[in-house]
Amino acid sequence: MTITNPKPTLSNLFPSAADQGSPTLTMLLNGDGFVGTIAGAQILPTTVVKFNNVPVAAVPNQLHPMDQMVITIPSALLVGAGVFTVSVENPAINGAGGGTASATFTVRTLNAILPTKVVAIPEGQPDHVAMVGHRLGAVAVSNQGVVRLLDLSRLNFDHHARCRRRARSTHRAGGAAHRCDRRHRR
């Protein structure tokens, strides 16, 4: 009786693309023929996963270990834009079996962030001018010479809060003069 590793297949990657400069990325690989060894209650991968020929951390999905793996791509590998190969390789046993399968992963070029509008900064935040770049949905805030990116998708800024404190006023909100009246006050 001869025991061999199967030739793996790689049907898709999720996600299949990321932006240049993205943080460390967790990716799900779907395919078939992934192999591993049982160590206690865990399955340790024998299938080797590489991103652009660099080995990356891989963990078999405990519910579907033969056809799903979760890998971690370090941010250092996502710095440059381009199309990269993700490969899975099962080693041969005594010179028999095994094989390699691959799929492509795209790191999209990050275009320059063009200032598109100036927004008011919520109270309690640094009160420096902020520029919004629609590409990232983020805002750059300067605080004593240090620039930070804030995620606007999580910002819940109520520019009418100033209206509720004043009987009638005009102030800057979202880069434009805003006239408050009673309808904005609660």
pLDDT in tens, 9-46: 999 999 999 999 999 999 999 999 998 877 777 667 78
| Reported confidence tier of residue 94, pLDDT bands at 50, 70, 90 | confident
H/E element holding 12? strand 9-14
Lowest mean pLDDT among 58-62, 67-71, 141-145: 141-145
Read off the pLDDT of each residue in 64-92 and give the average, rounded to a whole number.
94
Measure the CA–CA gap between 154 and 74, rounded to whole angstroms.
25
The predicted pLDDT at position 138 comes to 53
Locate the domains of the chain by residue range. Answer: 9-108, 117-184
CA geometry: angle at 63 spanning 59 and 66, to 5°? 65
The pLDDT value given to residue 56: 96
* Higher per-residue confidence, 116 vs 53: 53
In angstroms, the CA 138 to CA 32 distance is 39
Asked whether 175 and 118 are in contact (CB, 8 A), the reply is yes
CATH fold, domain 9-108, is: Immunoglobulin-like (2.60.40)
Per-residue pLDDT tens over the stretch 102-123: 999 999 987 655 555 555 555 5
